[in-house]
Amino acid sequence: MTDDAAGTDERAARESGARGERDEDDRAIPAVEQTPDPDETGEEPANDSFSLATFHDVCQAEGRPVVTAGAVANALDTTHEAATEALDRLESVGSIERLPVDADPVVWYPSELEDLSARERVVVFPKRREIVVDQPEQFTRAQLSQFAHLKETTGDGGYRYVVRPEDVWQAPHDDLAGLRRTIRQALGERNDELEDWIESQWDRARQFRLRTHSDGYTVLEAQSPEIMGNVARQVLDDAHVHAPISDTEDWVREGAEAALKRELYEAGYPVQDDRDLEGGDPLDVDLTVSLRDYQRTWVERFDDQGAGVLVGPPGSGKTVAALGAMARVGGETLVLVPSRDLARQWADAIVTNTTLDPSQIGQYHGGQKVVRPVTIATYQIAGMDRHRSLFDEREWGLTIFDEVHHVPSDVYRRATHLQSRYRLGLSASPIREDDRQAEIFTLVGPPIGTDWDALFDAGFVAEPELEIRYVPWDEEAGNAYAAAEGREKYRIAAENAAKVDEVRYLLAAHPDGQALIFVDYLDQGRDLSDALSIPFLSGETPHHERERLLSEFRSGERQRLLVSRVGDEGLDLPTADLAIIASGLGGSRRQGTQRAGRTMRPAGGALVYVLATRGSREEDFARKQLQHLGRKGVSVRERTVERDEPTE
């Protein structure tokens, strides 16, 4: 037995003990405290063997929070008299209460009904393919994450999961039997309707595959002539394939592999990529830091799949995990990033966290153009025709797509023609306002990650406190807003001058914290900078000045910094105690995640304030921007600011 298998069996054994043993048809048997058989001992069971925990087990077995003495007697295989005495004893110490009713002489219920709510409960809605879990154990959440998507959390122990086709297509299992076992461990029982649907999706994900022909070209292969004729040959055209080879095989055009996979994915049939892609020259590299357990799991899952997208909150160490994947692959690596600032930061991270020498690392962008065994390039440069051949000439063992949510855009997608044996994407939030996020997983690979709430609970990443503050209108801005139309209204609300006083108030309320203040408009940034005497870092700031300001902030020499949109992902901003979002990009969920993420770190205690002008569309935008974080377990509160609130 492998270590992984042994670990799975051990977890299953623990789960069985926690939930009760299972009989042959997987129905749960409650793990209640059993009393001795009178026939064996010659006496009735001792009353003191009946505890409040036993009472809760009987309630759970009965499926209701109230029970009769007869129900207790039946559950524990004892006499009615002994059960009544035991219940009387629990009542005498205040653990339970009695209540006479018409249907039965007496029913009993816990004094603290909420004790029952502290137990894990799983409810399945198979027609909607939803799973609602209350107070789940960590094991249950780990099992659910392998085949379901965490849609939202309630903040008080409730979780709602949705089983989507792509979750089944990308489940990390070698066979359907292993997936079924995981499902039953998570749910605590069989659910035939849900399992039948999951099996149908499992089969869909194995209908097509790409393979390399002995002559070197790529072949699309279908499981049957029917699936090839009714699906592939209906949605693909001459831009994707040359001609049929047989009833189940088509000759794929060179360079059309990514587009072909995208078309079939959108038709509901993901393609398994079994091509013999070049692995590039070997690269001897090791990490100089230790991976956390969940990072190690990410790397192992990526190694098994050969492609994927690491999804985790800011501060969870996706870059370090990607370097772990690079060490595991051991091949020359191309890293694609959105900006030259990120290219420099990647170069520094590689030198800091691996055994590679700086001479082995190259950067290819507007500032410098050097190709080395590990090369960091911008998406725009890699997608340009005049530079493409340079990247094609080298066989990359691994391609890393940083900020992978950009990939579906027309400009960035051109870089995905670089098809290496291993492809890895990174993103805190692979969502797009144009709903093209499915393309991320077809062009790069399936999502790999741990739900944010699990990382919050484990203390690896601190959950920030988020507050939307509704700011009153400055009189002049309010009049201008009423007369404006279209997008001008958005800008007037965003630049509402009353926000200057509110930012000043928040900074005064947290005098010892390091604060990042985000703005979307340059004029607003300059106004705040002048009013508060805080430097403003934007796209217009020279690179040497950016580095100086960021260095001073990291060292603690500088406590306040204003940042434009350039700080959303183009810069490796230092972590702050306080983030104030003075204006936002139309409610972008990804932007809200990025900005709130600047406060996520293990130390905890961070605060995020989002300012929205009261009575404007900014109110809706602010809620939308943070809704995504709320669904990931981050609590969000709202407050209306009064005009006479002190600013000093």
Task: pLDDT band for 633, please (50, 70, 90 cuts).
Answer: low
Q: Count Cβ atoms below 10 Å from residue 224 Cβ, excluding itself.
A: 11
Nearest to 173 by CA among 151, 145, 192, 209: 145
633: left (phi > 0), else alpha (psi -120 to 50), else beta? left
pLDDT of 289 higher than 70: yes
pLDDT given for residue 120 in this prediction: 83
Structure tokens at 120: 């894990």
Residue range 175-189, pLDDT digits in tens = 999 999 999 999 988
Domains 293-451 and 462-640 belong to one CATH topology: yes
pLDDT given for residue 645 in this prediction: 46
Q: What pTM did the predictor assign? A: 0.57
Eight-state DSSP code of residue 611: E
- Alpha carbon 242 to its chain centroid, in Å, reads 39
Please indicate whether residue 416 or residue 508 has the higher confidence score (pLDDT): 508
How many angstroms separate the CA atoms of 263 and 343, rounded?
32
Q: Sign of the C-alpha dihedral, residues 557, 559, 564, 566? A: positive
* Mean pLDDT value across residues 267-292: 87
Task: pLDDT band for 608, please (50, 70, 90 cuts).
Answer: confident
Q: Using alpha carbons only, what angle is made at residue 486 by residues 484 and 491, rounded to the nearest 5 degrees?
A: 70
Please enumerate in sequence order all residues whose Cβ is within 8 A of that of 168, keeping only pairs 6 or more positions apart, or say none: 147, 179, 198, 201, 202, 205
Nearest to 457 by CA among 15, 182, 120, 139: 139
- 236 in Cβ contact with 194 (< 8 Å): no
Q: Count Cβ atoms below 10 Å from residue 114 Cβ, excluding itself.
A: 7
SS (H, E, C) 115-169: HHHCCCEEEEECCCCEEEEECCCHHHHHHHCCCCEEEEECCCCEEEEECCHHHHH
Q: Count Cβ atoms below 10 Å from residue 345 Cβ, excluding itself.
A: 18
Nearest to 273 by CA among 477, 446, 511: 446
Minimum mean pLDDT range among 64-68, 282-286, 387-391, 493-497: 387-391
CATH number of 293-451: 3.40.50.300
- 439 in Cβ contact with 408 (< 8 Å): yes
Instruction: Kindly give the pairing relationship between strand 130-134 and strand 121-125.
Output: antiparallel
How many angstroms separate the CA atoms of 440 and 424, rounded?
11
SS (H, E, C) 238-271: CCCEEEEEECCEEEECCCCHHHHHHHHHHCCCCE
Eight-state DSSP code of residue 367: S
Structure tokens at 22: 């299972």
pLDDT given for residue 396 in this prediction: 84
Burial string for 80-108 (b: 16+ CB within 10 Å, else e) reads eebbbbbbeebeeeebbeeeeeeeeeebb
CATH for 462-640, options being 3.40.50.300, 3.30.499.10, 1.10.260.40, 1.10.1750.10: 3.40.50.300
Which H helix or E strand runs over 609? strand 607-613
Nearest to 401 by CA among 304, 310, 317: 310
- Domain chopping of the chain, boundaries: 32-116, 120-204, 208-274, 293-451, 462-640
pLDDT given for residue 637 in this prediction: 78
Residue range 460-507, pLDDT digits in tens = 655 567 788 899 988 787 788 887 887 788 888 888 888 999 999 999
Residue range 16-40, pLDDT digits in tens = 443 333 333 333 323 333 333 333 3
Angle between helices 192-204 and 176-187 (to 10 degrees): 150
Which H helix or E strand runs over 458? helix 452-458
Q: Sign of the C-alpha dihedral, residues 601, 606, 610, 611? A: negative
pLDDT given for residue 138 in this prediction: 75
Residues facing 138 on adjacent strands: none
E-state strands within 202-240: 208-212, 218-222
Q: Sign of the C-alpha dihedral, residues 623, 625, 631, 637? A: negative
- 284 in Cβ contact with 330 (< 8 Å): yes
pLDDT given for residue 595 in this prediction: 46
- Domain 32-116 fold: Arc Repressor Mutant, subunit A (1.10.10)
